[in-house]
Amino acid sequence: PLRIELMGAGTHPFARWDQQRVTDKQRYATLIDRTQWWGRQMLIYGVHVHVGVEDRAKVLPLQRAMLTVFGLVQSLSSSSPFWDGSDTGYASNRALLFQQLPTAGLPFPFDRWEQLEQYVGDMLHTGVIEGFDEVRWDVRPAPRFGTLEMRIADGASNLLEVGAISALTHCLVEHFSQRLDAGETLPTLPPWFAQENKWRAARYGMDAILITDAGGAEELVTDSVSRWLRVLEP
């Protein structure tokens, strides 16, 4: 009746961020007060996928392993090329906008849970955060739910794609979890390769050539997706 239709994407293609009202919640008011110009720009939308992990000891190895494949999810979901009415030249402008927040972006590659607790304790002690949910990493543990939370994907335009991104994410985590159960050592990437992959996926989307292992091997993302679908089919 209002002649309005709904769609989803990582960013609104032409909305002016400086004309939008911020949700009336204390946590957002605090965020804006601290981050100012960058915080007010967060007119962005993502899909967060939680995967239950049954053993705390598995969480950080799974987090590190997901950093070897998160570029696939980011490339597949990229839906934010426009910002403020301009074509940015990026497939996912949202991904790079969001990491400007102080605790956002790629996680630190901690080896032990105690290191994560130390980090959170330091951030609380120095007033950087007031709760764990203010750690806004792309892949983060969510202790309150007992999950590993992937905050990688842009907003999707339809529920079919939301389901597909969720299914792929769950299957990747389960694949690595089964390898852990079998006593295998999970793959990792040096932080500089993970950071480069994030930029490449954000810039080129499904045309990205991603770094696939610590040795620096590279593969076109469409080839990687096809290969992983075969691996995850069971």
Termini Cα distance of the chain: 46
pTM of the model: 0.92
Query: In this structure, which amino acid lies at residue 136?
Result: R
Structural domain count, the chain? 1
Statement: residue 3 has pLDDT above 90: yes
- pLDDT tens figures, 5-42: 888 999 999 999 888 888 888 888 888 888 888 888 88
pLDDT score for 31: 83
Q: Cβ(198)–Cβ(137) under 8 Å? A: no
pLDDT score for 39: 84
d(CA 204, CA 12): 19
Domain that holds residue 80: 17-232
Q: Cβ(153)–Cβ(47) under 8 Å? A: yes
- pLDDT tens figures, 163-220: 999 999 999 999 999 999 999 999 999 999 999 999 999 999 999 999 999 999 999 9
Question: Is residue 9 situated within a structural domain?
Answer: no
Hey, is 87 helix, strand or coil?
strand
Look up tokens 């610590």; give the residue. Answer: 214
Question: Is residue 112 situated within a structural domain?
Answer: yes
Question: Is residue 55 situated within a structural domain?
Answer: yes
Query: In this structure, which amino acid lies at residue 173?
Result: V
CATH code for position 99:
3.30.590.20
d(CA 35, CA 23): 15
Cβ of 216: how many Cβ atoms within 10 Å?
10
